[in-house]
Amino acid sequence: MKTIDELLAEGVSGKRVFVRADLNVPLDGGTITDDGRIRAVLPTVKALVDAGAKVVVASHLGRPKGAPDPAFSLAPAASRLGELLDGPVAFASDTVGESAKATVAGLADGQVAVLENLRFNAGETSKDDAERGAFADELAALADVYVGDGFGAVHRKHASVYDLPARLPHYAGYLIATEVGVLKKLTEDVQRPYVVALGGAKVSDKLAVIDQLLGKADRLLIGGGMAYTFLKAKGYEIGTSLLQADQVPAVKEYIERAEKSGVELVLPVDVLVSTEFPDLKAKAPTHPTTVAADAVPADQQGLDIGPQTGTLYASKLADAATVFWNGPMGVFEHPDYAEGTRAVAQALVDSKGFSVVGGGDSAAAVRTLGFDENAFGHISTGGGASLEYLEGKTLPGLAALED
């Protein structure tokens, strides 16, 4: 895999460089609530700008249905990128149409343009190779060189991620190079004890990675909504908590495998419960109660790990040499249910080991809760991509960058 440093050494002045970024930022209306993914691509964009390239940045945002949708416009991301670069960023109102062609043609050396949301074109996500290829051909006409730096999308077989690199000289940007280097530390020659904390809503999203980690990790800490399927598999009363009943048999098998393989599988010992899900916009107090993890009242649901569990998980993370954390421990967006996630984040900060926050909601949580990003070993920009890498899958976007 060639890197951007090799591209810069070859010279890019005057060349049109297509940067596949991940600007899939959360929006509240037209306001960006977390610009972490935009900041993550800055080193690559700045290096190309300083070298005199004409930089064409492209990304997806959200899941539009293959047609323009103002709710998913990349205009706010383009504006924020300009602020962070402290310079003008042109914005094309389409992906490969007249606006895109004119915007790219108008770039001078060292200038930047952002194309509109790639998923406004059905070819980007099409399962038909010919349709994806046709869109990739149109994108390739806008550039001379391809730089892949959208790590959060490398697990997708999409036109701009998988097909376009085959049509242009291709290189890995700084972000992808960093992410792959970090993930190798989690899969090759891992420093032990190796502790993995998994949270989030659905246990089904994490089963494949749990399957792999049962042979690699020393401890697995389970929290978030997925914990209640584990607690149900243990025969506990979980009230109206989130449950994937169809996954209970698989979870029972994993619990048994953990015991046999000597992997310490740690579940909540207490949880915060309420009769209803909190309003995440109003954030009015909900007055939750704390109950034992095996005794959730029938009319209540668990919304965060309890204080005893937070202390327990912190103790299980204290001696870790390597930590991977993916998924919040509760509904961290509401202050009543943020303390479990805060406890795990603080434990990572306090740990002397190498800590990786695995993207998505976990990355948003550490920023929302006010943690210094530099206090962690690495904060990934791609939760799904990180998990699939740890599962041992071949990621299309990484395979496409290989020579």
Active site positions, annotated: 37, 202, 360, 384
* Ramachandran area for residue 269 (φ above 0: left; ψ -120 to 50: alpha; else beta): alpha
Tokens of 141: 């006409």
- CA 294-296-301 angle, to 5 degrees, is 130
DSSP strand pairing (145-148 vs 89-91) = unpaired
3-class SS string, 256-268: HHHHHHCCEEECC
Residues 6+ apart with CB under 8 A from 219: 193, 194, 195, 196, 263, 264, 265, 266, 316, 320
Question: Cα–Cα distance between 280 and 28 in angstroms, integer?
Answer: 12
Phi and psi at residue 11, to the nearest 5°: 100, 130
Closest CA to 343 of 316, 377, 364, 320: 316
Q: If you ran DSSP here, which 8-state letter would residue 237 be given? A: B
CB 350 within 8 A of CB 313: no
State the Cα–Cα distance between residues 310 and 347, nearest whole angstrom. 9
> The tokens of 35 are what?
């610009």
Helix residue spans in 318-357 (DSSP H): 339-350
